A and B are shown apart, each in its own frame.
Chain A
Amino acid sequence: MILDLLSSETIDQIHAKIVIIGAGAAGITLAIELGNHFRDIVVLESGGFDFEQQTQNLYDGPIIGHETKGLEFSRLRFFGGTTNHWAGFCAPLDAVDFEPLSDRPFTGWPFKLEDLISFYERAYHYCELGIYRSKPALLADTEQRSRQVIDTSAFELAEFRYSPPTRFGKRFRSELTSSDRIKVYLHANVTDIVVSPNGQVVRALDVQTLTKRKLSVTADVFILCCGGIENARILLNCSHFFPSGIGNEYDLVGRFFADHLSTVGGIIVPGDSKINLEPFLWRGERDGEVPVNLVFKNSAQVVRQEKVGGCSVFLDPQYENVERLSKMESSPSFEAVRSIIRDAKHGRIAEDFGEHGCAVLDDPLSIVAAFYYRLANQLGNRGSVKTVTVKLTGEQSPNPLSRVVLTENIDELGMRKAGLDWRIAPDDYDSLYKTAMTFARGIGATGFGRMRVPQREEINGVTGLSHHMGTTRMNNDPRQGVVDSNCLVHGLKNLFIAGSSVFPTSGRVNPTLTIVALAIRLADHLKLEAKNI
């Protein structure tokens, strides 16, 4: 059942077995998984079914450190959360991502990849990725495909799969609406987490709408699923009982913020312009209904032994016919045709129709050529490969100085706004540069081509991918983590956290699949603990 606090009857008290705060990928997955086992699940969602500027403004906050996309743009605050605008890139983390690396402090997860595999399998269903296979079909001829491009043990091939992308709000709305075990409350903003006098149990949540309607929500178990920035912000804001915020006894909440580092690692001039790079094209192949493509990753051996952070290497070929199409489509005559068609669609003839007509007559060949190249591209005849852009997505080493902080600015609900002090360590830039150089040597060794790499200083212009991670990191030692391996906040008996904020390290793949897998894992844990709840 889905209720809107802005339109439903006056309620000042809600009680549930389990309360989930946030209806994004983690929150919705948890609700469905727990709804199969428990009777009384409540989901609190700050937004409505669609984007509302007033609610989105609650995400506003300054960028203090390395420049990146604004906090009000990089995520979405309505039913379905940030899955309302995600691109759908999915891949599981690698075994090496879970390992503690002796030369890199704060690395290591409290469990191994093997412990997460069965949850990845189930996460495929939520992300609409088809059937999980430990050895994907596209990798069956790995050796042959990779040796065409690169000859080195420093890289291995991996498969990326593409969710449609699943908009969790739309995809699972009917399931949640029809459930008599799950109640979703829209426009319900959590403004405080109320802790028992002994500081060990969460008793209630203070909830408020933007129309200033207030209510209290009590439950046996509370799960915070508001994303990498907001989870930390809420914990830090709740300072009535714990002056430094909930779960922050060791000053860890908000620290270790990480994003994936994205940059161009170089441009390749291929030796053989007819080489087949289709499997590397974005969504270039299909596994049944699911688009997939190949990427290179620096090998586990390199990550372990050479002090290089994990990095994915995407190949983006520029084809002759695509380039020509782009050139023809930007010609004045084609622009004029486009303008005439646009006007015709609106059933009008523009005042400058005459000018457009002349432009068309001036250069009709460009228009013919544009249509020809468009048709050729649609038929898969992209022509020869002119260049290949090498795009890198790298992980950040865990950095306590990189953090979400509270600013003095107050939002409409009276909560302090978050500020993002994103820091990138010199080692992280070095890792990207080393990866680019190793890749350049690897493609030289096969004769695939020659690569021009950026200068080391140019790597400093990396951008983030708005994958907010690490701010309530997982570690069984309360001095090194905010939550334990079951995502329970240290020192509290009934407050759990789900989402990428618990990632101790970020790996080199997009986080959503792992977020969903961890949410399923947490749901299973709570089912096992049902007797104690």
Chain B
Amino acid sequence: MKTWTRRSLAFGGFVVGSAIGLGAAKFTCGFISLTQSDNPTVVLLANLYPASDVVKLFGRTYLDQTGETAADSLRRIECHERIQRALSSRCPKVIFSALDHVSRADFHAGRTFCIDQWVMSQTELDVAAVCTLA
């Protein structure tokens, strides 16, 4: 706890990067055109995070810890009405906003996991898990 490991620094960067990403998204929202793939949800979510290796690492650790699969996480996200609406807009700003809203609700309801000592919401970890499919 007394020292910052490379991984924890990377995750810190990931959290801060997400916030910066949200700001950048506000500006670029109208110009971004994301490539369609077989599973648009996976591609959309994977494109949101700049530090994709760190995100995937957290996703894999989360799946190892819960014994679930990335498909389970994807199903949970796709079942979430607010996130689905945001994803269909294909706008990063809207998607981030929806994920933030749902994550806060997770924290409030105690739907959290401790991954590499970071306390995170189920939804953000589901997103990380989905990113492992990209």
Complex-state Cα separation, A449 to B116, whole angstroms: 16
Q: Give every chain B residue within 8 A of A266 (Cβ-Cβ).
A: 1
A441 touches B107 (CB 8 A): yes
Residue B118 lies at the interface, judged by CB distance under 8 Å to chain A: yes
CA distance A9 to B133 in the complex (A): 90
- B89 CB to closest chain A CB (Å) equals 21
Q: Is B108 an interface residue (CB 8 A)?
A: yes
For residue B114, CB closer than 8 A to chain A, the reply is: yes
* B12 near A451: Cβ-Cβ < 8 Å: no
B 108-134 to A, binary, CB cutoff 8 A, 1 in contact else 0? 101010101111110000000000000
* A453-B19 in contact (CB<8A): no
The answer to whether A387 touches B12, judged by C-beta atoms less than 8 angstroms apart, is: yes
| CB of A446 closer than 8 Å to a CB of B | yes
B119 surroundings in chain A (CB, below 8 A): 437, 440-441, 444, 450-453
Indicate if the CB atoms of A447 and B16 lie closer than 8 Å.
Answer: no
- How far apart are the CA atoms of A264 and B117 in the complex, in Å? 13
A445 to B16, CA, bound (A): 17
Report the nearest A residue to B12, measured CB to CB. Answer: A269
Q: Is the CB of B100 within 8 A of A444?
A: no
**Known interface pairs A444-B103, A444-B104, A446-B104. Does A272 touch B19 (Cβ–Cβ under 8 Å)?**
yes
**Shortest distance from the beta carbon of A293 to any chain B beta carbon, whole Å:** 24
B100 contact set on A, CB distance < 8 A: 447
Is A450 a contact of B120 with CB atoms below 8 Å? yes
Cα separation A458 to B1 with both chains bound (whole Å): 8
B15: which A residues are within 8 A, CB to CB? 269, 271, 449-450
Name A271's closest neighbour in chain B (CB-CB). B19
Interface string of B1-27 (1 = CB under 8 A from A): 110000010011001100100000000
Task: Give CA–CA (A442, B110) in the complex, Å.
Answer: 9
**Interface range on chain B: under 10, 10 to 19, 20 to 34, or 35 or more?**
20 to 34
Tell yes or no: A454 within 8 A of B by CB: yes
Contact flag A264-B16 (CB < 8 Å), given A441-B110, A444-B103 = no
Q: For B110, what are the chain A residues with a Cβ–Cβ distance below 8 Å?
A: 441
Which of these, B11, B108, B117, B121, contacts A454 with CB under 8 Å? B117
A10 at the A/B interface (Cβ < 8 Å)? no
Query: Does residue A54 face the partner (Cβ distance < 8 Å to B)?
Result: no
- CB–CB A451/B118 < 8 A: yes
Chain A, interface size: which category?
20 to 34
Residue in A closest to B13 when the chains form the complex, CB atoms: A269
Please state if A151 and B1 are interface contacts (CB–CB under 8 Å).
no
Contact B121 A444 (CB under 8 A): yes
* Interface residues in A436-478 (C-beta closer than 8 Å to B): 437, 440-442, 444-447, 449-455, 458
A273 within 8 A of B: yes
Smallest CB–CB gap between A470 and chain B, Å?
29
User: Most chain-B CB neighbours within 10 Å: which of A387, A442, A446, A452?
Assistant: A452
Task: Give the shortest distance, in Å, between A418 (CB) and chain B (any CB).
Answer: 32
Q: Which residue of B lies closest to A459 (CB)?
A: B1
Contact with A along B81-122 (1 / 0, CB 8 A): 000000000000000000010011011101010101111110
* B11 CB → nearest A CB, Å: 8
The answer to whether A441 and B112 touch across the interface, beta carbons within 8 angstroms, is: yes
Q: Would B107 and A264 count as touching, CB distance under 8 A?
A: no
Find out whether the CB atom of B117 lies under 8 angstroms from the CB atom of A445: no
Question: How far is A271 from B97 in the complex, measured between Cα atoms in Å?
Answer: 13
Q: Is the CB of A452 within 8 A of B107?
A: no
A264 and B108 alpha carbons, distance in the complex (Å): 23
Specify the chain A residue showing the minimal Cβ separation from B109: A445
For residue A450, which residue of chain B has the nearest CB?
Answer: B15
List residues of A (244-298) whose CB comes within 8 Å of B's CBs: 264, 266-267, 269, 271-273
Q: Are B1 and A264 in contact (CB under 8 A)?
A: yes
CA A152 to CA B15, docked complex, whole Å: 22
Q: How far is the CB of B88 from chain A (nearest CB, A)?
A: 24
> Nearest-CB distance from B110 to chain A (Å)?
7
Q: Please, which residues of chain A bring their CB within 8 A of the CB of B116?
A: 452
Structural contact, B120 and A454, CB atoms closer than 8 A: no
Q: Tell me, in angstroms, the Cα distance from A453 to B1 when the chains sit together.
A: 8
In the complex, which residues of chain A have a beta carbon less than 8 angstroms from the beta carbon of B106?
A: 444
CB distance from B93 to the nearest CB of A (A): 15
Q: Do B120 and A453 have beta carbons less than 8 Å apart? A: no
A-B pairs with beta carbons under 8 Å apart, 19 shown = A264-B2, A267-B1, A271-B15, A271-B19, A273-B16, A437-B114, A441-B112, A441-B119, A444-B112, A445-B104, A445-B108, A450-B119, A452-B11, A452-B117, A453-B114, A453-B117, A453-B119, A455-B117, A458-B1
Given contacts A152-B108, A450-B15, 12 further A-B contacts (CB under 8 A): A151-B107, A271-B19, A272-B19, A273-B19, A441-B107, A444-B103, A444-B121, A446-B104, A450-B118, A451-B118, A452-B8, A452-B11
